[in-house]
Chain A
């Protein structure tokens, strides 16, 4: 009998032929991997032919749900998209949120796997009538949001859509899959669907699934809801992650101009604390027209003018936190503002104009581009242009017009964009001339907004994570910023922290619960086990979930080993190990190759891997891959 919260099966759809099949998901596998990223890793092991080009028809892509999806537990409406990344050539799982997760699961499957390639631009529909393809000729070239709206209008009530934008259609290697303004962003899974000629997947609920102990689940949901309004989530509710920007700037942790610096003079102009001053919304707008000769008064008015632009705060389905802060640029375009997109399109590219950054972010959303990879690749290109390594005199740090042009060219694969659409690793391989040393990626995935030289636990996490340079799957920055260890003296404590945070991330990404909720848990593994037990009926405890975490992390590593990962891939860009940065205190922050090597070796040992980062037979047997 299938555990509560599960259907016990995956739908496999071959979009080449329009046929489908059902794959039974054994209970022991579900218990071993839970769902989301974990179950997705297992599915890729079982269904993805080794060494297949990620953009080939034979490469599968899975939407994976979890037992908590559809329950009243806050932040549980999430789904994972899992495939081999066209950017890294390794396993990637990208999470997104909201109604698609619930409707997708309630089509009657714990996962929906897509293989093959459609003969013509298509959308895949799944509801009580099963899976079928429909033409997407009228959706080609539309943004993901436009495509979703058009498709929903065509289909009628109850449908939820995840779609790709023009960038995905054109195979930009960091194209996203989007649902209702939320993005399965990293790793280019939008390009995988683009290669399958699949513009969108639309799902409509057709089934129900019960939890094992609904009364307990409800009680837990009420408790979790109450805790989600506490101080642990205040930042997300009140300012969003953009609150990181000024703080990171103050502690020399804000990557600037392609990691040439760790502080950005233009940061105050992009600060959440200024942009979010809703209390000024009622200020007399006419006052802005008063000419102020006094510089201080002018600055205040300028700040107030910027402060008038926050327009809304949204939340995903089933979420009580509401972390999405929507701003409007002077152009009228709105964009969801988060730390990563502002960092990547702002300081990373040397741009301090908030309107330009908002517009760039909105443009990335329209095209369907991962903002972190877009910003990182463009920043690399800006440096190449300034050094004369590429012929692009229009491309300079700090030039908002150049930023916008680069984004457009990437999304349309025109001009320089055709090269940049390949990502910074491939582009640097083509350009050569030493540009590889400052290409801001790990394993091909561009670095997020955390300066590794001033956050040594994060540095390790970025280097070893299976997805590439990934703050989210690692989470080690928490240790660096906790005050519990010296963020500039990476050693054993940092190794332990990187392992612990990576394990916790693996469980949260498989349960699935939003990581913005993590601070409300005092004894996370035990509490998570309680949630899982109530839903599934399994007598899960914290110790079991710790083993599950390790299994999931290892399963991803083993997949990558199969696909050609080498030990040298667990490393950081040359610049970060050769060029120290200076803190505001005057002290120099340095990450030497020797220190990084020692931490990586410590990580391998902590995970029971050999010196080459490989598991032993006992660990492999536990993965249940055969």
Chain B
């Protein structure tokens, strides 16, 4: 979406998980890589990751900007302030996410972004009984307000919401969006994982249902699209017997960008086209 960007808050302590959530394995990738990738896809704009100072993070694409949280222990509003400030001159609206939402769907992200592009300061989902400030869209111009709240030690997102226009979208409002309703009917986008059991349960689920088309010599007699379950482009390739590590194969996600990055995350409803890299004359 033009004028949109993403912020991933990765600086949390992961105390209940017992290990950094950002680095948790996810279908051959990591949770952080997945979240960053979903936001990049959904926004089409820059994505920043806010981390604790000196925090080690798993590998990320080179164009992802890392921001160090200037103050420790101030919670997500501090991360929000830092992330929005980093994007203020590049995007009007940013989707802010924690790093522990493995089922976040691009359609969900776009729905909230649209709420802000349509006039609100914040697009706040209210799903599964709770407001979800770490799966919400914010005007980047809120950065100074968030920063002031941190200095005043008013660290709950509710303090921010009191001072701006918030579009609260409950489940019915979210599902009014036909694309979101079709692709994430249970609003699994807001599911976050905090404890090992939750992670294991989530991880044991197969990847999202997607469609694979193969072209040219990769088709190998498969002329029709194939439905597979895959969380990444590499997983989709493996599901249909394609060596995505080969120099001669590329993928086009939903007919858009061509990529050789097997860790691009997939979401329900995606179509992946596998092409010979020597496409062309």
Q: Which of A227-253 contact B (CB under 8 A)?
A: 231-232, 234-235, 238-239, 241, 243-244, 246-248, 250-252
- Whole-angstrom distance between the Cβ of A264 and the nearest chain B Cβ: 14
Q: Is the CB of A583 within 8 A of B255?
A: yes
Given known contacts A231-B246, A303-B223, A587-B256, A243 and B217 CB-to-CB distance under 8 angstroms:
yes
- Whole-angstrom distance between the Cβ of A307 and the nearest chain B Cβ: 10
Q: Is the CB of B278 within 8 A of A235?
A: yes
Asked if A220 is at the interface of the complex by the 8 Å CB criterion, the answer is no
Query: Chain A residues near B278 (CB, 8 Å)?
Result: 232, 235, 478, 519
Q: Is the CB of A585 within 8 A of B256?
A: yes
Q: Is the CB of A519 within 8 A of B215?
A: no
Q: Which of B15-23, B30-38, B85-93, B258-266 contacts A (4 or more CB under 8 A)?
A: B258-266
Q: Which of A270-278, A381-389, A536-544 contacts B (4 or more CB under 8 A)?
A: A270-278
Q: Is the CB of A471 within 8 A of B223?
A: no
Chain B interface extent, by class:
20 to 34
Q: A137-180 vs B: 1/0 string, CB under 8 Å?
A: 00000000000000000000000000000000000000000000
Could you tell me the dominant secondary structure of chain B's interface residues?
loop
Q: Is the CB of A587 within 8 A of B258?
A: no
Q: Report which of A247, A583, A585 forms a contact with B276, defined as CB distance below 8 A.
A: A247
CB-nearest residue of chain B to A486: B257
Q: Is the CB of A487 within 8 A of B258?
A: yes
Complex Cα distance A487/B253, Å? 13
Complex Cα distance A279/B223, Å? 13
Complex Cα distance A486/B221, Å? 30
Q: Is the CB of A248 within 8 A of B279?
A: yes
Asked if B65 is at the interface of the complex by the 8 Å CB criterion, the answer is no
Q: A183-214 vs B: 1/0 string, CB under 8 Å?
A: 00000000000000000000000000000000
CB-nearest residue of chain B to A236: B278
Query: Chain B residues near A232 (CB, 8 Å)?
Result: 248, 278
Q: Report which of B247, B248, B254, B275 forms a contact with A247, defined as CB distance below 8 A.
A: B275
Query: Chain B residues near A247 (CB, 8 Å)?
Result: 215-216, 273, 275-276, 279
Asked if A294 is at the interface of the complex by the 8 Å CB criterion, the answer is no
Given known contacts A250-B213, A487-B258, A481 and B273 CB-to-CB distance under 8 angstroms:
no
Listed A/B pairs (20) with beta-carbon separation below 8 Å: A231-B246, A231-B247, A234-B217, A234-B248, A239-B216, A239-B217, A243-B217, A244-B280, A251-B258, A252-B255, A271-B223, A273-B216, A277-B221, A471-B280, A481-B280, A482-B250, A486-B257, A488-B257, A585-B256, A587-B256
A residues bordering B, Cβ < 8 Å? 231-232, 234-235, 238-239, 241, 243-244, 246-248, 250-252, 271-274, 277, 279, 303, 339-340, 448, 450, 471-472, 475, 477-478, 480-484, 486-488, 515, 519, 583-585, 587
| Given A241-B281, A481-B275, 16 further pairs, Cβ under 8 A | A234-B248, A234-B276, A238-B217, A239-B217, A243-B216, A247-B273, A250-B255, A273-B215, A339-B281, A475-B280, A477-B280, A482-B258, A482-B277, A583-B256, A584-B256, A585-B255
